[in-house]
A and B are shown apart, each in its own frame.
Chain A
Amino acid sequence: MANEGSNTETLAPPEPHMFENRHVDAGQHHPTSYAPSTTGSEAASWTVHGSTGNGIYSNPTYQYDQHPQPPAKSIQDGYNVSSIAGNSSNLGTANVTQDYNAYASYPSSSNPYGYGSMGYSGYHNNYQQQPNHTYSQPVGAYQNTGAPYQPISSFQNTGSYAGSASYSSTYYNPADYQTPGGYQNSGGYGNQATAWNNGSYSSNPYTSYTPDSSVSYSSGAATTSMQYQQQYKQWADYYNQTEVSCAPGTENLSVQSSSALGCPIPAVTSGYATPNSQPPQSYPPFWRQDSSSSAIPSFQPAAVNSGDHDSYWKHGPQSSQIQQTNPIQPNYQSPLDLKSSYDTFQDQQKTVSSQGTNLYLPPPPPLPMPLPSQQVNLSPVQSAQSPEAKRVSKLQIPTNPRIASNLTFGQPKAEKDSSSTGSAPKPVYIAVSLPKPTEKVSSNDAANSILKPGMFPKSLRGYVEKALARCKDDKQMAACQAVMKEMITKATADGTLNTRNWDMEPLFPMPDADVVNKDSSLSSAQDSLLPKYKKSPRRSKSRWEPMPEEKPVDNPMLITNDTVKYSSWVPNAKDRKGLMENKESKEDGLRNTKFSPLLQRMSNKALQRPFKKQRLTDASIVSENGDASSDSDKEQSLTAYYSAAMAFSDTPEERKRRENRSKRFDLQGHRTENNHSRKKHAGPGNLYNRRASALVLSKSFEDGASKAVEDIDWDALTVKGTCQEIEKRYLRLTSAPDPATVRPEEVLEKALVMVQNSQKNYLYKCDQLKSIRQDLTVQRIRNQLTVKVYETHARLTLEFGDLPEYNQCQSQLKTLYAEGIEGSDMEFAAYNLLCVIMHSNNNRDLVSSMASLSREAKKDEAVKHALAVRAAVTSGNYIAFFRLYKAAPNLNTCLMDLYVEKMRYKAVNCMCRSYRPTLPVSYISQVLGFSSGVINGASDERDTDALEECSEWLKAHGGSIITDNNGDTQLDTKVCSISILHTATLVSASTLCMPEPEDAVAHGDANLAVNDFLARAPL
């Protein structure tokens, strides 16, 4: 798969490697950077953090430090960058993802966008640790898998977060900001990336934040370098206005003060603003923090997160802020370097922005009060989008029409009117590069108000769009807007607004851009973009997905749609990438796949509740903030925008539609829910061209909500793979498979051989086998090859002791054998028996699997052995057990291995009860399989070792070992010399205990322990 390939590539150059390493092991880098800046205590905390997922923080710090010393450290940054940027956009993505892993302890990090947020709502903390270590490389595949495995466990992070907050303050060097030179290099980019990651990660937890970071970033990135500065300033202003407390941040002074943490950089502000689009609740807390840490508690009662989270929240935001700040700055000055990476980022932005925008549109209760903060946010969103738009318009013109035609929801108005503009491709989506002066925002609003859907005929809207489409840059745009505003006002005044045929109206001559206020340039583009985003979902229908447009019952629904859209964007991304780099598209695809589900989930969880219920409260908070920052102009404009949005959502048609939807929602209740969840898996399908049949199916599926998935004619959908690559990473499918990535049977055969002969470690093989299995399943190949693959995998898992995976194989094998496909069914019958006996501890299963053995089966050597083991286990006959253990055929030993501890414990327990007065350790050692040899005699070293091991084991389990009178002078308590030492009375059973396993992990599956995992399997 592309994923793998790209990853490996990234890894190949030494520098990228280092990069990765750093991420994984935060400790490595930090020491240098942070030691000086922080106090001793902090440093200590750092190290701790570093080991866990907290590495995130440390990394940012690290980079901060770098800033102050641009020359020296920039190099390092440089290579970060190089790995990211240099490796084409693809790499960029890959790296980014990795960064994510590393930086954000959040596993979700790989999907900076969706994942983090999701994780937060759902999985929260768990992810952080795991993903970092284990998964960093496999990025795509593992993360998905990882998520399920990890129950919510670790909240350790909170603590670390607090720590991080402090760092940021300390670390922040104002100097950084003032020395732009340092940033210009690619290193700056690297910073950005990381920062971005961090930002997104941190923000993710909050759901609302994610978008922020991405947006801000994107805005910076997308625009050309010239604009950066402007934007930057704007943001700063912006920020100042919105948040008084933040102002110092811009000047970098505040940076050093802990309270200011997040604020210092204007970029941050932007980041924050963006978040608006997402659940506002999380938002307010953020702001408050800035102003004063004490405000934190007020945080998010309504928020999705539980109390634990709150604590997390408090600290988290700060750190995230800091991170954000850094990244952005570099961008401004070195936009060019970053470009390739931008794309990836942009994707993110898109998602984010689309979400944000969507949210606005539907808001159910029109709020009389404009939410200042939200409005503020809007602007960033738009800006973010605009670059996007540009790209789209330039590169992806072909796709646009499709999107446009699909558009239902976004521009209901337009659709309603059957006028020429209609649903036809809307040229409108103007790509405007945005300089972002403060006024811009207002201009946006103005544009919006002009276009306010509820108030003006659609044709007018079309007209406006057309007009704006002509504009080549923002200045022109602004000018156009001004002209149009005038026109419309006039038309309204003389009542021709609704009567005039706007479609026929000649476009006014292009105004002189210079005349017009630059600032007002912003854009209808965004407006139009929004709808686009919405439209895109149509294309993206995946087989299992309900059609998004029809469904959007509710805000949450909308959001899901957005996600879908997001995925639909991918194609665009591909196109774009085509320009940039070949590989990236694939990578993107991968990411997207993951993404959309995440987003959806996130949206479901986070947005649903917060948005609806908390809206008011949030709004009030927000408004407060907004007041603080109040720029009356802006506010007004924002209000206008907002109300426009309201109106938009309030049009009668829209209302009706919503009514219908909610009705449907009521009826379907669960159903929709189900669909959602299913969608999660299906999301990415958009990437691929669906076959018509699939589309039809999806439609019909949606229509008849009650239709079960099984009604689908799978034969028609079965994929025939065309992929010729032997090696392929496993990635859990979340949509219909793409034939281009599925390997046909011959290739799979080769792949199997390759895996069998591979010298690589278990994880690699497991991954490969899983992907082979997936391809088989997808193509519905069930033959001897299938059996062989499963058998190979099952054996492998047994050797490795990976029971969960083994069970999957076993159950598949069972059905495969039951279908009459040949294989080593006896061998596996034996494994199955052993497995049931020793691990499921379920008599019913045992009896039924025994009963299912045929007469011939019982004659099989392996099965006989298994049955004997069973007898030994049920009767507690440890002697027999350990004899069988030594004589086990095939991999029976491996399964028995897993039971040895238990058996020994039982045995010793029994011995303690039955034997008096003493029992020689040598006997125990021999009988319980520690030593193989004779009881007396040998001074063989192996036996000595075994004895020692045995007595250690006994001691560990609470046995008391004494030395009896026969002890010679030779006797050492530590070394039990066999001939002389008879020992060990295990005095009473009551002292026996099973020691706590040393490698115990919170989530109970030691296989998933990050450190352990890494130690065993450095990929």
Chain B
Amino acid sequence: MAYMSMGEAHRRITEYLNRFSDAVSSQDGASFKSLFALSSNSPYLLSLADALNLFQDANRLIKQSDNYSQFADILVPLFRSFQNYRQNNLLEAYNAFEKTANAFIQEFRNWESAWALDALYVIVYDIRVLAEKADKELASSGKSPEKLKGAGSVLMKVFGTLAGKGSKRVGALYVTCQLFKIYFKLGTVHLCRSVIRSIETARIFDFEEFPKRDKVTYMYYTGRLEVFNENFSAADYKLSYALKYCNPQSTANIRMILKHLIPVKLSIGILPKSSLLEKYNLLEYINIVQALRRGDLRLLRRALQDHEDRFLRSGVYLVLEKLELQVYQRLVKKIYIIQKQKDPIRAHQVKLEVIVKALKWLEIDMDVDEVECIMAILIFKNLMKGYFAHKSKVVVLSKQDPFPKFNGKPVNS
């Protein structure tokens, strides 16, 4: 940083203040929001921060003029936040910024129109990012990271100011999405429930009126929630919606959506092309899809084991694990097909020992009882039609459509 004179610093600060008050008085949302974009690292704000560090008495400047002093609650902590951010005191920066945010919310409430919505977005975003950084700092110094949680409650407040009627309502979804990000990160997803309810039950405001990007994000997160709940059809709908409207340019986002959508689709019997998996670098699914195609239980288990951490983190592990049944089904189906080729009349009777043997080939060590149990479950879950004769240890398959297709319906569980 080049040397900056005192006068220069003073000039920059007053310029910032002027911009601030001008933006407010002209209700210029675009230029207003740039004044808060702390984490954007814009050179303008960085130099302002330098100026602030040099010129220690900025608060006096704020209080000098009525134009600024009415926003002192916002500006004073904001300046402090700038300074600390510049000096990498992230914790302090966050604390100050939270104050700014609270003051801003107060002010925002008083503004009739939603002209400052963009600035609010910036604040909402920044507070989350700052909180994450502050938490990192806290964690590295051995303290408990709790700022993100704090940011969450600030955002809840913001949501409260937006969730009512009127033009500000449009912003509610953005805040919701930021809240999702926080809650998913914190693992306190249950806190989303109230927000979701208020979004989905609001009749006065059509969901489609929200900005598209927010809708996509929202659908992505709620879709993920549905995956957790194993509510596959809803998850399918939401994630597909997100995929459909997601900006095709943002492959990272598409990949994130697919990460969750693929397991959902798999569990309702729809397998992706491997080209798709390759395109979006979702190679962890390749073996799983393979296993499903082949009825290769060993492959499935291995794939699950290999990527266990990843699947657990994204929360799809359990969904994938349930694909085992489909693999069994595939296996039995294969046996059935082979038997049919040999002896079409008796093909519908599959002996248990055959299946056990097949599994043994796959190096899966299961005894007769266990396989019998699996067969019972397959029949029970309607993956196979037929019955099991315990006495003779035979699976008797229905002659008609013994292996029903999913048709987009999840396995009945």
Residues of chain A having any CB pair with chain B under 8 Å: 843-844, 846-848, 850-851, 871, 874-880, 909-911, 913-920, 923, 927, 982
Contact = CB atoms under 8 A, between A and B. Distances in A.
Contacts of A876: 377, 380
B325 interface: yes
Interface in B274-328: 309, 312-313, 315, 317-318, 321-322, 324-325
Contacts of B321: 871, 874-875
B318 A851 contact: no
B189 A920 contact: no
B377 A910 contact: yes
Contacts of A909: 380
B377 A875 contact: yes
Given A875-B377, A914-B379, A915-B389, 13 more contacts: A843-B230, A844-B228, A847-B315, A851-B309, A874-B318, A875-B322, A877-B370, A880-B370, A910-B377, A913-B376, A913-B380, A914-B387, A915-B376
B377 A874 contact: no
A848 B184 CA distance: 11
Given A847-B315, A851-B312, A914 B322 contact: no
B190 to A, nearest CB: 8
B61 interface: no
A877 B377 contact: yes
B376 A844 contact: no
A915 B377 contact: no
24 contacts: A844-B189, A847-B312, A847-B315, A847-B317, A847-B318, A851-B312, A871-B321, A874-B321, A875-B324, A875-B377, A879-B370, A880-B373, A910-B377, A910-B380, A913-B376, A913-B379, A914-B379, A914-B387, A915-B376, A916-B387, A916-B389, A917-B389, A920-B390, A982-B391
A876 B373 CA distance: 9
A963 to B, nearest CB: 16
A911 B377 CA distance: 8
Contacts of B125: none
Contacts of B325: 875
B318 A843 contact: yes
A819 to B, nearest CB: 11
B165 to A, nearest CB: 26
B138 to A, nearest CB: 15
B374 interface: yes
A923 B312 CA distance: 37
Contact of B375 (A914, A918, A923): A914
Contacts of A843: 228-230, 315, 318
B369 interface: yes
| Shortest 7 CB-CB contacts between residues of A and residues of B | A914-B376, A916-B387, A914-B379, A851-B312, A910-B380, A879-B373, A913-B380
Nearest to A855: B309
Q: Which of B230, B312, B375 has the most CB of A within 10 A?
A: B312
B396 to A, nearest CB: 8
A2 B82 CA distance: 60
B322 A844 contact: no
B388 A927 contact: no
A848 B187 contact: yes
Interface residues of B, number: 32
A202 B322 CA distance: 59
Nearest to A846: B318
Contacts of B379: 913-914
A927 B369 contact: yes
A527 B2 CA distance: 81
A847 B312 CA distance: 6
Chain B, interface SS category: helix
Nearest to B367: A879
Contacts of B315: 843-844, 847
A235 to B, nearest CB: 58
Nearest to B324: A875
A919 B312 contact: no
A877 B374 contact: yes
Nearest to B382: A913
A852 to B, nearest CB: 9
A850 B308 CA distance: 10
A860 to B, nearest CB: 16
B240 to A, nearest CB: 21
Contacts of A880: 370, 373
Nearest to B376: A914
Contacts of A916: 387-389, 396
A820 to B, nearest CB: 11
Nearest to A917: B389
A919 B369 contact: no
A851 B230 contact: no
Interface string B209-236: 0000000000000000000111000000
Nearest to B318: A843
Interface in B388-409: 388-391, 396
Contacts of B374: 877
Contacts of B369: 879, 927
A874 B378 CA distance: 14
Nearest to A853: B312
Contacts of A911: 376
B390 A915 contact: yes
Q: Which of B230, B324, B377 has the most CB of A within 10 A?
A: B377
A851 B313 contact: yes
Contacts of A917: 389
A859 to B, nearest CB: 13
B308 to A, nearest CB: 9
B322 A874 contact: yes
A920 B372 CA distance: 14
A986 to B, nearest CB: 12
A850 B317 contact: yes
A304 B376 CA distance: 58
A329 B401 CA distance: 88
Nearest to A924: B390
Contacts of A846: 318
Contacts of B375: 914
Contacts of B388: 914-916
A914 B370 contact: no
Q: Which of A875, A878, A927 has the most CB of B within 10 A?
A: A875
Contact of B312 (A850, A878, A879, A913): A850
A866 to B, nearest CB: 15
A848 B325 CA distance: 23
Contacts of A848: 187
A478 B327 CA distance: 99
Nearest to B389: A916
Contacts of B189: 844
Contacts of B377: 875-877, 910, 914
Contacts of A918: 390-391
A871 B305 CA distance: 13
Contacts of B230: 843
Contacts of B229: 843
Contacts of B318: 843, 846-847, 874
B394 to A, nearest CB: 11
A63 to B, nearest CB: 54
A880 B396 CA distance: 23
A850 B312 CA distance: 7
B230 to A, nearest CB: 7
Contacts of B389: 915-917
A843 B224 CA distance: 12
A850 to B, nearest CB: 6
A452 to B, nearest CB: 51
A919 B372 CA distance: 12
Nearest to B315: A847
Contacts of B324: 875
A534 to B, nearest CB: 40
Contacts of B312: 847, 850-851
A483 B380 CA distance: 97
B143 to A, nearest CB: 13
A934 to B, nearest CB: 13
Contacts of B378: 914
A858 to B, nearest CB: 9
Contacts of A915: 376, 387-390
